Structure 1
Amino acid sequence: MDETGPAPAQPLPYEGVWRFTAPAVDASVPQARHAVRDLLRRQRVPVSEEVAHGLLVIVSELVTNAVRHAAVLSPVLAVEVAVGPVWVRVSVEDDHPYRPTALEADHGRTGGRGLLLVREISVEAGGACDVAHTASGGKVIWAALPLSPH
């Protein structure tokens, strides 16, 4: 009788975690979006077109927020992409301690709806998003989406 239990399943070829840093400047927004798009293609992640589009909007919104609101205290931001067998998670981390709570729309304002958009895209796809503090005192904002919408 084998006491070791079942062998662990091998990860799928597209599974993994990738992390890169970028300066907290406007040019990093399209660069981050293109880097994530290229990563999904290079790894042949079987993500639906709809989810991929939503994911790239989320990356743009999160990096834009880090550039606009955290650059003073965080000149560098980190983008992480984690791909599992049936989901993809993107996160943007910065060293600014402020934890945004703007998840409800203020219809009287013309801006400030980025996190609301991130939440709506996440929920619509059957995913989730949240903000968490980091050990270094900053924050990470993440969104996880299924590879195929439900």
Structure 2
Amino acid sequence: MQLEIRPDPAEVGRARKWARSRLAGSGIEADEPLAETLILLVSELVTNAVVHTGRPAVLRLRLPGPAAPAAPSATVRVEVADTSARAPVPRCAGGDATGGRGLALVDCLADRWGWSPEGAGKSIWCELDRCSAPRQSATTAYGCGLSAYEDLAFEAV
């Protein structure tokens, strides 16, 4: 399933709402940690596409079916494709910066993430394993457990 995203910051909220509405048929309850993490990942990837490319994008979700939520192979995939061919590049964000940590958060929260060329642009994706042990909160993970990311931020352009 996919949603077309206009290059407008208001689209981030629409993308979160759309993703939440898709959870019901997947066997993922809206109030469980996986759902909350999924919505945060959608928000971060769509924000990066909208803010850093200024071009339309496509949000894609791959959710498990209701019969498979506990299966070991049940993986949730969030993918945002845009028409900018520029690769995600690390950048430093100062302690007072209000942005620039999106992909660092994705790295903390997702089981896997990456990007690949797609047509004239690229696709940035992340995956969550349905049966993974609950991950620590982004605040805890970013602030305490991942010193390698303390002074780095990533920009998806």
On whether the aligned pair clears a TM of 0.5, the verdict is yes
Moved more, 140-149 or 87-96: 140-149
Q: CA deviation at 1:108?
A: 4.8
Cα distance in 1 for partners of 2:92, 2:35 equals 24
Is the deviation greater in 105-114 or in 62-71? 105-114
Q: Give the gaps of 5 or more residues in structure 1.
A: 1-17
Give runs of ≥4 in structure 1 deviating > 4 Å. 104-109
Find the residue that maps to 1:115 and give its secondary structure.
helix
Amino acid at match of 1:132: S
Match of 2:28 in 1: 46
Contact 1:51 1:148 in 2 (8 A): no
Structure 2 residues not aligned, in runs of 5+: 69-73, 134-157
Query: Identical aligned pairs, as a percentage?
Result: 31
2:112: which partner in 1? 128
Within a 5 Å distance, the mapping from 1:93-112 to structure 2 comes to 93-102=81-90, 106-108=93-95, 110=97, 111-112=99-100
Q: Distance in 2 between matches of 1:69 and 1:28?
A: 14
Q: Which amino acid aligns with 1:137?
A: A
* Secondary structure of 2:89's aligned partner: coil
Paired residues in the alignment total 123
State the TM-score, normalized to the length of structure 1.
Answer: 0.74
The residue matched to 1:65 in structure 2 has which SS?
Answer: helix
Aligned to 1:4: none
Counterpart position of 1:64: 47
Q: 1:87/1:141 Cα in 2 relative to 1: closer, same or farther (>3 Å)? A: same
Which stretch has the larger CA shift, 49-58 or 83-92? 83-92
Structure whose CA Rg is larger: 1
C-alpha distance in structure 2 between counterparts of 1:105 and 1:119, whole Å:
16
Distance 1:120 1:149 in 2: 14
